[in-house]
Amino acid sequence: MSSTRFHALIPAAGVGARLGATLPKQYLPLAGKPMLLHALQAFVDSPQIDRIHLVVSAADGYVDEALSAEPELQGRVNVLRCGGETRKASVLNGLRTIAGETRVNDWILVHDAARPGLTPQLVSKLIDAVADSPVGGLLALPVVDTLKAADANGSAERTVPRAGLWAAQTPQMFRHGLLLRALEAAGEITDDASAIEALGLRPLLIEGSPRNFKVTLPHDIALAELYLKGQA
């Protein structure tokens, strides 16, 4: 592990349409600063992380101002203006852009910008659990709710067994070379682990935290603030 480096890669080129906001959701104010900065801070405060790469769109007009308000982030965050139309495209473009400064065996921790509840402790937990894995792994939570499958009319058709089911979170941690190859071979996916699974590999599932949820709908903002202020 001494020669292996750990890179954080945060795709942040989305517009957050489901949130219905007037600006991309990663820049919405949350507990006193843009949502994105909370995610970045978790990696800044993680001593195991060597480099932090932020993937934004070429037309992003918010990132410079957001970062300038946090002196601690300046010089630590490598802004890559190569974001794509989809999350997968942004991650793939980011991996290609940093290929010159990474080794194929360096670990890449891909994290959603809209998960502001990440902590350095969760980052460390993932790294410690996965760093010796030949495949990689991700934070996730065991499903505890009863799951229902709906019919075309929106009625409960059957109960789906929840045994063995996990809800994926991020970061998702894979070696640069493997993740690049997996994403280049994959169709449209919603997370990086799906591309790894498509190669026939089985990423480790490391238990995360409810606070590390993805802000998607308007009411998620209030809940995220409660976690960040230590009130949930």
One digit per residue, pLDDT tens: the chain, 232 residues?
A: 458 999 999 999 976 555 656 789 999 999 999 999 999 999 999 999 999 999 999 999 999 999 998 988 988 999 999 999 999 999 999 999 999 999 999 999 999 999 999 999 999 999 999 999 999 999 999 999 999 999 999 999 999 999 999 999 999 999 999 999 999 999 999 999 999 999 999 999 999 999 999 999 888 999 999 999 887 6
Number of residues in the chain: 232
Domain locations along the chain: 6-228
- C-alpha span between 174 and 180 (Å, rounded): 9
Class of domain 6-228: alpha beta
Cross-strand partners of 79 = 54
Closest CA to 116 of 4, 37, 182: 37
Quote the tokens at residue 14: 């989305």
pTM score above 0.85: yes
- C-alpha span between 227 and 142 (Å, rounded): 20
Backbone angles phi, psi at 96, to 5 degrees: -65, -40
Quote the tokens at residue 6: 């750990």
Are the C-beta atoms of 13 and 83 separated by less than 8 Å?
yes
